[in-house]
Amino acid sequence: MKRLPSTLALVFLPILAFTEPTLAQIDAQVSFLDSDFSAEYTIVKDSPGEGQSVTVAAMFRRDKDNRYLILILQPDADKGKGYLKVDNSLWLWDPVARRYTVTSARDRFQNSSARNSDFTRSSMATDYRITSTSQVKLGKFETTVLELEATLDTVVFPLRKIWVSAGDNLVRKMEDYSLSKQLLRTTAIPSYQKVGQRWVPVSMLIVDELRGKNVNGQLVKEKTQVTISKPSLGKQPDLLFTQAYLEKAR
Amino acid sequence: MRIAALMCALVLATAVHAQESDTLFDNPAADSVAPEGPKVDLSPILANPKPALSGSITMSGVGYAGWSQTPNPADLASNFDKGFGYDLSSSLSFDYKPDPTFHWSASFSTAIPAGNVTWSTPSIGSMYLDYTLADRVFITLGKFGMSWGAGRLFGVNDLVASAADDLSIKAFTPLGPLGFTGVMILPPVATTLAQLQWAAQTEGNLGPFTANLAGWYAASAAPKFDLWAKTVLWGADVFAESKVTLAGSVNPLSNVQVQALAGVYWEGFEPKLRVQGEWLIDSPALGWSDQSVALAASWSNIPGTGIKPSARVTHSFADSSGQLILGLEADPFLHIHVTLGMPVSWGTANSRWVKSTIATYHEAWALALKIDLSGGFSSDAF
């Protein structure tokens, strides 16, 4: 009798491993609804023919209130610039001009391949519906591929394809498409780090399928590497998620 | 730690060049538990142990030609005017943020205005300190400017505009989804409590709208209230605003004056193109027929030229007067800034915008060229 549970586990494990994840389960793995989240993001944009540019930003998320604040720490020219998201409003603060610009989740973050929407909490369960599923091997990962279609007009990418690894419901790869099914960008997240009970990428590579240059007769696409360090779940003061806080950072 | 993350990111970004993104999954690093370590440190942008000092000096020369009244095409020589002016100004600013909770800022300036040969008495442009109380309240006190209200072109709904010349204390704190700001303003002549001015505003988000309610009170003046709501439509910032002044002398509600303002602001493209439009309706002066519109556009750079064009047009339907200002700015040489401006007004001699144009630019129609020679320094090394 003692062996029964492990025998059952052996029988059911492959089935459980390929149970299709729901979008809510996928969102839950990377959302911090019980605490604040902060980390330092290092964003390296590699533009063919133009070289690399590095941006270091401090990220503070309060997922339960749908807020985030991002402050640019490097380069010096952009130091003190900040993004504040409160519900559906997103502002960009320019400390030199001392003015706010209303910006959009669709806009590129610091002109990189990352979009402002990439830094908010995952909301695929409300933004998309699943149109098809399949099982695919992605490198060493057994994954479920979910093809998604936006249910809201406000979603940045109307069509999306995600590769979700079996067992942990983490998105390992993502392809974003236009309504005409043109591939716009590909995101790869090979490894995650666990923070409390949730996960954040160690790094992610975003390949811009539309931006690039011909180098020696070959199209070399623009790439952005985002590396996340110093993650923390420590509580942040309410003041942090306000315009007044951004105005203080100069 | 930051250098290590930076190096790691640089190496990764370079390494993946030769690979398709899928090859990253062949042998990825195992998922791990995030290490305990240093947290994000904002002190580099919130504090600087060294006081910062900056200063500038500007010599400006202006040449202009135009008509002191709206020109008569049949007699263009009439009211024609031309001239030259100059001034020399200098400013010094000081900034000290020893830790993230404390900030001391001051700026001083002096000038030799046109027609003078001596420096004016140095004046304090701003002198204030910021203090963060227990991570809960931002307090600012001293002489500093504030800007309330959603409108920018007409600038009629800013309840605290006068604070720039006064001594003020401002406190801000968030409370749930709302932000509260309270202000006490001490005018230079204030000697009694009754001469103090008080203002408060609260701001919050209601679905796709940002809403703001503000009030201003002084014992000796009519209380004012301002309410605005803002949202984003098709990428543009759109707002509607209303200011109410309770001007009745005995019963404040017996004379309610209302101003309504609506506007749009959009910016986009690279180089940045900015477009703003506003519509104002003002009841007290001429009833609801007193309506005005304003439209402004500016471009941060005509590609390949370094020239920044701008235009602004304002028209009042109450007296059919208006003003158009065209501008071009450029920095053709190091330390040299050139501005070419052309204010043009229309309407009768006593109309609102003809009078305003003459008061501001000394001419009803003019073409003016201003050349600034300026230099400055910025240092935190003392």
Q: What is the pLDDT of residues B191-224, one digit of tens each?
A: 888 889 999 999 988 878 889 999 999 988 899 9
By CB neighbour count within 10 A (0-12 exposed, 13-18 middle, 19+ buried), where does B374 fall? middle
Question: Of B1, B25, B137, which has the smallest distance from its Cβ to A229's Cβ?
Answer: B1
Residue-level pLDDT at B233: 86
> Which of B11, B40, B140 to probe the A interface (max A CBs under 10 A)?
B40
pLDDT category of residue A116 using cuts at 50, 70 and 90? confident
pLDDT (tens digit per residue) in B127-183: 999 999 999 999 999 999 888 999 889 878 889 988 888 899 999 999 888 999 999
Instruction: Find the mean pLDDT for residues B22-49.
Output: 84
End-to-end, the C-alpha distance of chain B in Å comes to: 29
The interface predicted TM-score of the complex, written ipTM, equals 0.76
Is the pLDDT assigned to residue B77 strictly greater than 60? Answer: yes
The model's confidence at residue B103, banded by pLDDT at 50, 70 and 90, is very high
Per-residue model confidence as pLDDT tens digits over A195-227: 999 999 999 999 998 888 887 888 888 899 999
d(CA B357, CA B361): 6
Q: What is the predicted pLDDT for the residue at B285?
A: 57
Cβ contact B33–A243 (<8 Å): no
Architecture of domain A21-248: Clam (2.50)
Percentage of chain B lying above the pLDDT 70 cut: 93
The position carrying tokens 């605290």 is B160
What pLDDT sits at residue B18? 38
Average pLDDT value over all residues in chain A: 87
Please give the Cα distance from B118 to B129 (Å, whole number): 32
Residue of chain B whose alpha carbon sits nearest to that of A65? B177
Tokens found for residue A105: 């989740």
Whether A109 and A43 have beta carbons less than 8 Å apart is answered as: yes
pLDDT, residue B55, reads 96
Put simply, the answer to whether A230 touches B6 (Cβ < 8 Å) is: no
Residues A144 and A171: their CA atoms lie apart, in Å, by 9
CB contact under 8 A, B13 and A243: no
Q: Mean pLDDT score of chain B, rounded to an integer?
A: 88
Q: Determine the distance from the C-alpha atom of residue B218 to the mean position of all C-alpha atoms in its chain, rounded to a whole number.
A: 25
The full set of domain ranges for chain A reads: 21-248
Cβ of B38 under 8 Å from any chain A Cβ?
yes
Nearest-angstrom CA–CA distance, B125 and B110: 10
CA distance B46 to chain A (A): 5
By Cβ distance, the residue of A42, A79, A205 closest to B16 is A205
Strands (E), chain A: 37-47, 51-62, 67-74, 82-86, 89-94, 99-102, 128-138, 141-150, 159-165, 171-177, 183-188, 192-195, 198-201, 203-215, 218-232
Nearest to B32 among A71, A193, A203 (CB): A193
Residue of A nearest to B8 (CA): A227
CB contact under 8 A, A190 and B25: yes
Which carries the bigger pLDDT value, residue B194 or residue A179? A179
Find, in chain A, the residue whose alpha carbon is nearest to that of B43: A249
- Beta-bridged to residue B372, according to DSSP, are B60, B337
pLDDT digits (tens, 9 = 90+) for B329-363: 999 999 999 999 999 999 998 999 999 999 988 89
Cis peptide before B271 (omega within 30 of 0): yes
Peptide bond into A5 cis (omega under 30): no
> Inter-chain contact B29–A234, Cβ cutoff 8 Å?
no
Q: Is B126 on the interface with A (CB under 8 A)?
A: no
Which stretch of DSSP H or E encloses residue B356? helix B352-361
Q: What is the tens place of the pLDDT at every residue in A11-49?
A: 444 444 456 789 999 999 999 999 999 999 999 999 888
Between the alpha carbon of residue A132 and those of residues A158, B69, B297, the distances in Å are 15, 73, 48
Q: What is the pLDDT of residues A42-87, one digit of tens each?
A: 999 998 888 899 999 999 999 999 899 999 999 988 999 999 988 8
